[in-house]
Amino acid sequence: MSHSTKSASDWHKDTIAIHGGEAPQDPHGALVPPMYQTSTFVFDNAAQGGRRFAGEEEGYMYSRLGNPTVAQLEQRVAELEGMQAGAASATGMGAISATMLAFLKQGDHVVASDAIYGCSFALFSHLFERFGIHVTFVDMSDLAATEAAFTDKTQLVFVETPANPHLKLIDIQAVANFAHQRQARLVVDNTFMTPLLQRPAELGADLIVHSATKYLNGHGDVVAGVVVGNQQDIELIKLTTLKDMGATMSAHDAWLILRGLKTLPIRMQRHCENALQVVDFLQSQPAVSRLYFPGLETHPGYAIGQKQMRAAGAIIAFDMRDGYESALQLLNNLKMIKLAVSLGDAETLIQHPASMTHSPLTPEARATAGIGDGLVRLSVGLEHSDDIIADLKQSFATIG
């Protein structure tokens, strides 16, 4: 629980990013809370250890079961998302796996967006099916098709919006209404937007997951995840799947993400400003046949974005007119922009989804999701926009 002296509900999100989940004043007066880099915790006596393991006394026992540094991060992200509690994990996929499996059993059904991260697709379509959990992938921008996908065994609904990689937008509130009418929980992956640009809890989401590797940390030096929700749901995740499967976060990673969160508001502002400049440039390129960016009025989900997003974000996708070969030529001739998967770092990153992040999808699934061989995904970083554009321009010039 948060030990802040002032309720987070009284603060702006910029302030929560710095002060959310603060513990009491350090006894030595340290401005930055210490990192509790320890695997285990010492009890005053045997009876105290027994009480803590029995749940009769609050306190720490073993870092897989809870750690003060990790707890501070969990509460800060929860407050940013307007939720009660959080659970941090070793990776973003750890957060998704622990969240989904905490509420599913053999015979249950999941409705998932047809456009999601490749490893999420692999988890749902391959591993879940092995254990008798069935998943229906549906184009959730089609509300009639989404409603028709529900069965009497549907327990969870999983949504990414904007969808990875081509930024399809999904009406969170409409999908939440379908889910709740059928007593199902809605899980929203909010990695692309962060709590500053989109607040799924206000639109009816029950659980919100993040790859904290991305914008929350923002510096490309951590792999981590987090899920936030109400106290009861988060306690269930922590006490079952997260604890028993062991995908918990280290204190060091939590400390780094806490540091990264302090600059999240100003980083997101610069990311978004740069992205608008890059979009303007890409619109002028004849080698680009289609541009995917929620801030464009031509985007099919533009009206939804205006309703549920505070800005369009900093991820851009585009189709190369001549397909795969021209996409590879563009990627291979960049000089400053880094050819790498992931997103949300200070550096601008570019990648080829069909052969990289979304390669776990079958060719048929990629086609259904609109992930063509000429699709490129760009994560706009914090460099000067002129330099990002100059590098893209010289690479486009190499394409015959």
- How does pLDDT run across 45-102, given as a tens digit for each residue? 999 999 999 999 999 999 999 999 999 999 999 999 999 999 999 999 999 999 999 9
369: containing domain: 265-396
Q: Is residue 2 part of a domain?
A: no
* Known catalytic residue at 52: no
215 is catalytic: no
> In terms of domains, do 234 and 356 share one?
no
* CB-CB contact of 290 with 375 (8 Å): no
Instruction: Inform me whether the pLDDT recorded for 6 exceeds 60.
Output: no
In a domain, 330, yes or no: yes
Phi-psi region of 11 (alpha: psi -120 to 50; beta: other; left: phi over 0): beta
Residue 64 annotated as catalytic: yes
Q: Is residue 250 part of a domain?
A: yes
Q: What is the per-residue pLDDT across 154-203, written as a single tens digit (0 to 9) for each?
A: 999 999 999 988 899 999 999 999 999 999 999 999 999 999 999 999 99
Name every residue whose Cβ is closer than 8 Å to that of residue 325 and which is 6 or more positions away in sequence.
none
Q: Is residue 3 part of a domain?
A: no
Phi, psi of 289 (to 5 degrees): -90, -30
Last residue of a domain, one of 230, 261, 292: 261
Rg of the chain in Å (alpha carbons): 21
- Co-location of 134 and 203 in the same domain: yes
Looking at the structure, do residues 204 and 70 belong to the same domain, yes or no? yes
Annotated active-site residue in 168, 185, 214, 377: 214
Q: How many domains does the chain have?
A: 2
Mark whether 257 and 348 lie in a shared domain.
Answer: no
Lowest mean pLDDT among 23-32, 58-67, 127-136: 23-32
Query: Domain of 193: which CATH number?
Result: 3.40.640.10
Residue 185 falls in the annotated catalytic set? no
Closest CA to 265 of 14, 9, 12: 14
Pair 250, 339 in one domain: no
User: Which tokens hold the place of 88?
Assistant: 């941090």
Domain final position from 211, 226, 261: 261
Q: What percent of the chain has pLDDT over 70?
A: 98
**114 part of a folded domain:** yes
**What angle (nearest 5°) sits at the alpha carbon of residue 223, between those of residues 217 and 228?**
65
- pLDDT band for position 8 (cuts 50, 70, 90): low
Q: 94 and 16, same structural domain?
A: yes
Of 396, 372, 374, which Cα lies nearest the Cα of 286?
396
Same domain, 111 and 202: yes
Residues 96 and 167 in one domain: yes
pLDDT tens digits, one per residue of 316-354 = 999 999 999 999 999 999 999 999 999 999 999 999 998
What does the DSSP 8-state code read for residue 40? B
What token pair was written down for 162? 């904007």
Give me the catalytic one of 189, 233, 319, 345: 189
Of residues 226, 273, 233, the one with CA closest to residue 81: 226
Cα distance between residue 366 and residue 341, in whole Å: 18
DSSP H helical ranges for the chain: 13-19, 46-53, 68-81, 92-102, 118-122, 128-130, 143-148, 172-181, 194-197, 231-237, 243-245, 251-261, 264-283, 302-308, 324-332, 363-369, 385-396
* Catalytic residue chosen out of the listed positions 64, 290, 310, 321: 64
Name which of 9-13, 99-103, 147-151 the model is least confident about. Answer: 9-13
Question: What digits encode the pLDDT tens for the residues 35-57?
Answer: 999 999 999 999 999 999 999 99
Answer whether residue 9 shows pLDDT above 70: no
Please check whether residue 1 lies inside any domain of the structure. Answer: no
Residues 169 and 56 in one domain: yes
Instruction: Indicate the pLDDT class of residue 362, thresholds 50, 70 and 90.
Output: confident
Question: Could you tell me the pTM of the whole model?
Answer: 0.94
Q: Quote the pLDDT of residue 7.
A: 52
228, 261, 294 — which closes off a domain? 261
Q: Give yes or no: residues 256 and 279 share one domain.
A: no
Give the domain CATH number at 314: 3.90.1150.10
Residue 161 lies in a domain: yes
One domain, residues 280 and 363 = yes
Do 223 and 280 lie in a common domain?
no
Q: What is the distance of C-alpha 303 from the center of its chain? A: 22
pLDDT digits over 210-232, tens only?
999 999 999 999 999 999 999 99
162 cis-preceded (ω within 30 degrees of 0): yes
Closest CA to 179 of 209, 148, 156: 156
Whole-angstrom Cα distance, residue 122 to residue 91? 16
Q: Which of 36, 117, 215, 292 is catalytic?
A: 117
Q: What are phi and psi of 212, to 5 degrees?
A: -70, -10
Residue 181 lies inside a defined structural domain of this protein: yes
